[in-house]
Chain A
Amino acid sequence: MTLRRGAARIVWPALLVTLVVALADVGLLDAGRLGRGVRNLGEFARALFPPDASTLPTLAEAMVETIEIAFVGTAIGFALALPLSLLASPVLFGPSVTAPVKLLLAVVRTVPALFWAIIFVVVVGLGPAAGALGIAFYSLGYLGKLLYETFDGVDPEVLEATRSVGASRWQLARFAVLPESANGILAQLLFMFEYNVRASSILGLVGAGGIGFYLLGYLELLRYDLLLTGLLLTLAVVILIDRASAFVRRAFLFPVAPVPPAE
């Protein structure tokens, strides 16, 4: 207890000093700059309103492309992530298989979506194809990890009972691990799609298609009223997808709690 109190006496002041030094270094203790920032924010907010809807048809078209990029990217990412996540799952394979696959997924995960998009702009040229492939590889890294962690949570009794019939590893995956993880897989997939719609909306910054191209253009031209229209459209679509996801969850998820005997 004495040691803990002693440590607390050192740690908290040290954290405070670090915070103050870091705030100063990033320029957030500069009163003049902060004052200018607040004024700029006011001007920016005034320039946003009222939103200009004249480019709405163009933005809507770009938004459709953004959703398509997210959809295709999530689908390809899922198709690649599913077998790899099974290979990374310790409930199916030993460490000699799981360790290298987990490392591969970690490496893929380290590269942000925007960087993947840049790589694929180089590979397949400017446009939504590069965006979709960028999103696919970004999804592969994340979905791979989320899925193998879901598989780790499968009830050990289900695994034991299925192994007991003399099933092979892949039969175990097909008839126990995947159906038992169906709720988790669906939830992760919907989450990834929602996330990818947001991620896809900035891919235009690197010429990989979608609404981001227009948002960047409006920002550079200081047409904040048009920018607000684009942002509101993105918000509306994200809310719509969120509601659609909730509907899909309600329709497809099976109850997790055991059903009490009917007798």
Chain B
Amino acid sequence: MSDPALQVRDAWFAYVRSKPVLRGVTMHATPGEVTMVLGTSGSGKTTLLKILKGLLAAQSGEVRVLGADVNGSARGRLDPRVAYIPQQLGLVRSLSALDNALVGALSRIGTVPSLLRMLPEDETKRARELLARLGIGHKADAPVHELSGGERQRVAIARALMQGPRVLLADEFISDLDPLTSAEIMALVRDAAVAGVAVVMTTHEMDVVREHADHVVVLRHGETSLDRHGVPDVRAITEALR
């Protein structure tokens, strides 16, 4: 097994001092694997992902992503090699699918050219190719508010892949999809993992876990109650969720 792309040791976090959401979570994720984080509502899944992205800072413990301590990075510019897809995708509704995908390239484009929308030809070409590969090339110029749920999911993946990520964090981003679209999206996620990306996604869907997880982490009341590689053991997962 290769070195972990991210490692969390004894992470604690509380929005309200007396009610910690994470109580000493320990986990890791490896390049090329799909790690699924499960837990009931309020178990701290979203908070954990935001800490991994550097949007929140753990109040104690160690959080290392791609070798760097990400705790406290919340105020500065965030590492583009760590892609993050929030639950509602965070797409800009009035922009086109292409522009949303190009957002993923902003860290490589200077502030002034991007403000003037003088985006490099090669980035635009790459974004168009990516959208085509994800099956929505024909909708590249359509505004996001005109796209269906599955199409928007693909745009969010395109934005993430434009970052050239080594880690992909996705927060329950397939929960609103029908089973067929969900399977198509998971195939794209698997492609990213095969390309060497460490994928960490939260989900409630046991079928998705059974079919696509290489590594399962279960959070219960903010603590790690299960951390297991290999073929998911549904009984052990269900037990750990209780």
Chain A: residues with CB nearer than 8 A to chain B? 155, 157-168, 170-171, 174-176, 179-180, 182-183, 254-255, 258-263
With a cutoff of 8 Å between Cβ atoms, the chain A residues found around residue B80 in the complex are 165-166
- Nearest CB in chain B to that of A173: its residue: B115
With a cutoff of 8 Å between Cβ atoms, the chain B residues found around residue A166 in the complex are 77-80, 106-107, 163
> At the interface, yes or no: B18 with Cβ under 8 Å from chain A?
no
> At the interface, yes or no: B150 with Cβ under 8 Å from chain A?
yes
CB of A171 within 8 A of CB of B114, answer: yes
CB of B150 within 8 A of CB of A182, answer: no
Number of interface residues of B (CB under 8 A): 48
With a cutoff of 8 Å between Cβ atoms, the chain B residues found around residue A161 in the complex are 84-86, 89-91, 156, 159
Known: A168-B111, A171-B115, A259-B145. 19 other contacts (CB 8 A): A158-B91, A160-B86, A164-B78, A165-B78, A165-B103, A165-B105, A166-B77, A168-B77, A175-B92, A175-B106, A176-B92, A179-B95, A180-B92, A182-B94, A254-B143, A263-B149, A263-B150, A263-B177, A263-B181
Known: A160-B84, A165-B80, A165-B107. A174 touches B55 (CB 8 A): no
A166 CA / B73 CA spacing, docked (Å): 11
A28 CA / B53 CA spacing, docked (Å): 66
CB of B107 within 8 A of CB of A175, answer: no
> At the interface, yes or no: B225 with Cβ under 8 Å from chain A?
no
Interface bits B167-182 vs A (CB < 8 Å: 1, else 0)? 0000000001110110
Known: A180-B92, A182-B94, A263-B180. A163 touches B145 (CB 8 A): no
With a cutoff of 8 Å between Cβ atoms, the chain B residues found around residue A170 in the complex are 111, 115
With a cutoff of 8 Å between Cβ atoms, the chain A residues found around residue B148 in the complex are 259, 261-263
> At the interface, yes or no: B82 with Cβ under 8 Å from chain A?
yes
CB of A167 within 8 A of CB of B94, answer: no
User: Which of B88, B94, B150 is A179 in contact with, Cβ under 8 Å?
Assistant: B94
Output the least CB separation between A107 and chain B (Å). Answer: 28
